Structure 1
Amino acid sequence: MVSKEEIISVLKQVLDPDLGLDIVRMGMVRDVDVKDGEIFCDIVLTTPACPAKTKIEQDVKNVLDKNFGKEYKINVSMKSEVKRAPDNPSYKTPATRIINLDNIKDVKNIVAVYSCKGGVGKSTVSTNLSLALAKQGARVGLLDLDLHGPNIPIMLGLVGQPKIRNSKIVPPEIYGMKVMSVGLLTDNSSPIIWRGPIQTTAVKQLFEDVGWGELDYLVLDLPPGTGDIHITLSQNVPISGMVMVSTPQLVSIIDTVKGVNMFEKMGVPIIGMVLNMAYYVCSKCGEKNYVFPRVNIENYLDGKKVDIIGEIPIDPKVAECSDKGIPIVIEDTDGEVSKIFMDISSKVASFLSTIAVKNSIS
């Protein structure tokens, strides 16, 4: 009878396409067993949103079938276990931290969505990215930190104040994810007129007073600009990576580069850039029309490695869905824009998994 050790040795031939490491070394091979003429094996991916899931599964089945298929029936079960990304260098020690992070100790990855310029669709990206991750099986939370323009509740159709349990705010759940926003605690028609110190206190409370529970990803919808909130978060919250949002035109790209420079100085990894309103597809002929003049982004990034992880077209459906509180990833599941957001979510998950694995085996 073939031994478990022989099976594990054969599985070393299967490589993760992103890292080039074998799946045994990465700790993805679990619960290998041989029983009654059958081989059983669990492959535990580093995220349910793994873009290489199908390839890895097929490679595992092929190598096992090639070596043992004549004598044994092959059973491969695909599972996932999200790893925690390493803390960024500017993240302070507990003694100097001004935000108590006990309520997010069970959050594995914190993804911040940011744009230096307002009005480029940051909240739309935050919402649909979060939903795309949740649809792929991840445990997701979305925290709206755009204190002066908390639009997330409108985009998700959320109304009413959240409940309190054991002195903690219970984030409402919708479409399989948890959500919290200042917009759920204030009157939508009243402006929020807060100076810097009050904003910092509000952000502090949204982390300390909300019971997030266990999450694979907590997505932060940041306010535009380069102010107190951004510095406070970078120094006090273990942000795993940033997703930058911009439109293709020069003025937006220049402002986005300012944000890239700021977060690089704070030691926060940049996952990539999403170009929103990148083009318009003619409904009659299907031709792509670039409404905004496109600039050579690489020229302005000055050699920085910031990948474009998605280009979202101008589509009236996106705004229509947000206005009625049913984001496009939910309303138009099979549509082109939804597929783009699903692809973006896979790239975000893959980036975080890669740095987590590299950190664990280094």
Structure 2
Amino acid sequence: MTVMKIGLITTLDTNIGDDFIRDGIRGLLSERYRGRTIEFVSVNKHSPFTVYPPWHPVHVRNLAGLLPLGRDRVRSAIERVCSRIGETRFDSCDLIVQCGAPVFWPECSASEWAVPLWHQVVGRLSSRIPVLNLAAGSCYPWERQPVKLEPEADAKYVRDILGYCRLTTVRDPLAERLCKSVGGDVVRLPCSAFLAFEPPAAREPEYVLVNYMPGGGHYEWDQGIDPSIWEGTVRRLVAELRKSEKVAFLCHDDRELALARALAPDLPAFLPRNSVEYGACIARAKFALCNRMHASVAMAGMGIPSIAVCTDTRLLMVAELGLPAYYVKDATPDLLLERTGQMLRTLDDERERLLTLQAQTRQGYLAALDGALSAS
């Protein structure tokens, strides 16, 4: 049987949330091409030149760093000339897929993968290999959400990548609006990470999980966020919740684990290292409060509701699931305690709603894939 090769533009060994995005997409593609043997070829977009095999002459670019002058100019010239040779790991693929994560953010056109992956590889191959951009999201400061793509370099970059792709799905309304501002035709569906986990046949919810990040998110974005206020809010929430619930921390990296242990040394703190461990961990949750948006999305896929708190428009991805999502400055202790109480009283209804939405989301993706790939 002929093996189908699918190239994935993704992030590797950086953030477990990217694994959930990729797992959801792999599952969809496996279902779309059920009965075929699939080989996934993953390229880390943060190391874009790994799209080339080790023997490829493009790697001579690394020697440019030895030059006394003109390093960047020489390196760019080597990349431009050698990229025309082709022979990348994607050249032999039957399909190329960009796997979720923020695609639109301030100065996204300057990302390290924009030229070497999108323009020099995907752009060249898009005339003969179908390209999909799935679960693309926005990441802008909550207080400075744009109405259109600016500057023009970002607008051109997005127009180009939309033009390379047979299908673009976006995971939030801002991403949809920005694509439409440059004439893009996109489909809005929840993040593919929502499809990464299936609810276990039987489970016994045990914990209220807390995922804590200083200041409420990855970036402060010059919005005047005081991290001590959010820390105080989390301390109060934990103190109130543990009066009636078993509380534990859910951590995505070693830093979060150290912060959790400093915040409440006597409470359990979990740090799953892969998707399998993560699924087993969140299966024990009845509810969660999350600063990591993909913690909320992953749990929602198991029918577990949460409240999300963040600093930027990644919040919109969680709101798309019908879950409460708050900008950190608005997330007061009283508000969060009130919403937590409401959601703990309606867990069964929320579970049913989320699982129904997950099934609808899967069908929405499969229909979009069929429309884009009907001839593939």
- What TM-score comes out, normalization by structure 1 length? 0.32
Greater relative contact order (Cα < 8 A, sep 6+): 1
- What TM-score comes out, normalization by structure 2 length? 0.31
Specify which structure has the higher proportion of helix: 2
